[in-house]
Each structure stands twice: as C-alpha cells, then as structure tokens.
Structure 1
C-alpha cells in the first residue's frame, strides 16, 4: 500500500557504528594555551588607571602561577540610520590603538615574568571582559576606576562589571 510503513518490532535492536556518533566538543578553552586557563583578565586602554590595574594583575598572575589575559575593547561608535528612522546601529571603526598598546606592552619589563596575551574585542566593555573571563575560565577580572562626568551619569565600567560578573572583580583606584 502506498504511504503505509510497517513498524519495526520492539525487540529488534539497531546497531550503531561508533564513528557515526559525533564527539562532544568542549569549546570553553579548547583552543587556548593551558598557561592562560584560570588566568587573570585585565582591562587595558593605556590610561593611568588601567596601568595600575595591569601592574596589580601582573602581581596577581605571578603569585598564582597563571597567565595574564590583557583585553583592549576597541571603540564602536553609534551611528543613526536616518532613512526610515531605524534604531541606532553600531559600526566598527578601525582602532589602531591596540597595535600601539601591543608594542608598548612588548617592551614592558614588568611583563617579562608572566606569560601574557593581548586580545582586542569590540562592543560593550563589561560584556566583553566577562565574555573573555568565561572563555578562559579566569579566576578574576581586574579593572581600573574611571573618574569623570560620564561615569557619574552612566555608571562606571567597574561598578557595572562588579554587579553583573560571574567571577571576582578587583577594582584598582
């Protein structure tokens, strides 16, 4: 009969080839160097407060025997699309500051004692630092404080990060 299928008996077992079963993929750090697993994440933009945060994070990584993950969050500028009154969109703007920071860090003597890596991310600073912390299963995130009008109006990065992070946040004044 067309369109009718015979059900398989309940006692018939299907033999499955083990090569057909996909291997479980652990993407949380599978591509990362083991020296950076459970390391210290530090937000760095070259400011004085981020310099102090970096110095503290270096000592923290040295004492714990782990690596240092330095994160620079590149600028993303909001632009408004005028045609059709669409909501604002974020546009990536090339940020050559990361290259300059990388060269400065490569010449820094205080980083010679610990393994470190510089990552560039784009987007919300709090989200990106927490995301890097999750990817590397970091033991802590270290940030510097910001003092200024905008941080008083919109809230500081360190305050927002301390409220929403899933790992310890160390705020360096």
Structure 2
C-alpha cells in the first residue's frame, strides 16, 4: 500500500491528508507531488522505543523546516524458501496488522498535531524501502532509531546499512 489514511479524531488540528481534494485513493491524496510532503522528512517507525525517539526528533525537524513528515512502516515479508524450501527468492505477503495498529496510535498522538504527516506501509528490505520513499518524496533527510542486540551485531544494523547506502542525509537517534 503506497499510502495510508487514518480516521481523524474530532480534536485533530491538521488533517493527515487534504480532504478538500476530490475523493480518490490515499495514494492520490498524499502523493510525492503534494507540496506539503515534497522535501519532507522520512522516518522509519515500528513502534519500538528507539523508533519513538526517532519520530519525536523527526517531528521537530519537520516543524522547524515547515515540511511534512512521511512515516514509513516496513511490514513483514517472508521468503518462500521459509515455507516450501524453494530455490527462487520470491516473497510472500504475510498479513501484518501492525501498521493498522501503529496508524491508530499515531492518529491519537498529541505531538503529531503540529505537523502534517502520512503513514506509508511498505514490504521488503527496510533500508531499500526507506531510501525508495526518500527518493519518491525527494526527502531532505531520513531519520531512524538505532538498533541494539545480538541480531544487529551478527547481521549489521538497519541504521548502519542505511548510512552506507543512502543518497541523502541519514540521522540515527540512539
């Protein structure tokens, strides 16, 4: 899903997407051509503590820069080899309701009331998807939280891989 519209609480100060535009898909209402989100701040968000800190920092950047916030949740996609032992590296869509839950939590968050934002769900490699969204929206920066733990030490962290390959500034929040 390229865009994600959330039901709006009655006390919301600014809309998530422009409701005055003719009714269409969420993709059309928050497209990369929308001037509010063009040159915005992309932030990777999975609901973790480090992602919460990264989101708070990105909100400050967006407010100071007078731009929109593009929040990206990369959903789970499992290789088919996990399921059937097949050779081709195809991906299978696994239902991920976490994006819906995150969207509802974000819609109720007071700290997002001062900045226009949109939540996007993508599937695949986190680094690739964050950089792709950054390219689509001509983002000024990508903000991510740091990863700690054994898996990060073994396979490399998302933030470390993103810093090495990104074509725009990457801010890593501890």
Relative to the length of structure 2, the TM-score reads: 0.79
Paired with 1:30 and 1:111, the residues of 2 have a C-alpha distance of 19
Distance (whole Å) between structure 1 residues aligned to residue 164 and residue 32 of structure 2: 29
**Residues 125-151 of structure 1, C-alpha deviations (whole Å, 9 max, x = no match):** 000000000000000000001101111
Q: Which residue of 2 aligns with 1:4?
A: none
CA distance 1:31–1:166, change in 2 (3 Å): closer
State the partner residue of 1:122. Answer: 123
Q: Which residue of 2 aligns with 1:105?
A: 106
Match of 2:162, SS state, is helix
Which consecutive unaligned segments of at least 5 residues does structure 2 have? 1-29
Q: Deviations over 1:90-117 (max 9, x none)?
A: 2110111001000000000000000000
Q: CA deviation at 1:33?
A: 1.7
Alignment of 1:66-81 (within 5 A): 66-80=67-81
Structure 2 contact 79–92 (Cα < 8 Å) conserved: yes
Work out whether residues 32 and 137 of structure 2, in 8 Å CA contact, stay in contact via their aligned partners in 1.
no
Q: Which runs of 5+ in 1 are unaligned?
A: 1-28
> Does the residue aligned with 1:35 lie in a helix, a strand or coil?
coil
Partner of 2:47 in structure 1? 46
Q: Which residue of 2 aligns with 1:60?
A: 61
Report deviation, 1:77: 1.2
Runs of 4+ in 1 over 4 A off after TM superposition: none
Whole-angstrom distance in 1 between the partners of 2:31 and 2:157: 33
Equivalent pairs counted in the alignment come to 144
Aligned CA-pair RMSD: 1.6
**TM-score by structure 1 length?**
0.79
What is the CA deviation profile of residues 50-108 of structure 1, one whole-angstrom value per residue up to 9, with x for unaligned ones?
0000000000000000000000000011231657x523432110111001000000000
Specify the structure having the higher radius of gyration (Cα).
Answer: 1
Using a 3 Å threshold, how does the CA distance of structure 1 residues 139 and 46 change in structure 2: closer, same or farther?
same
Instruction: Name the CA distance, whole Å, in 1 between partners of 2:84 and 2:132.
Output: 32
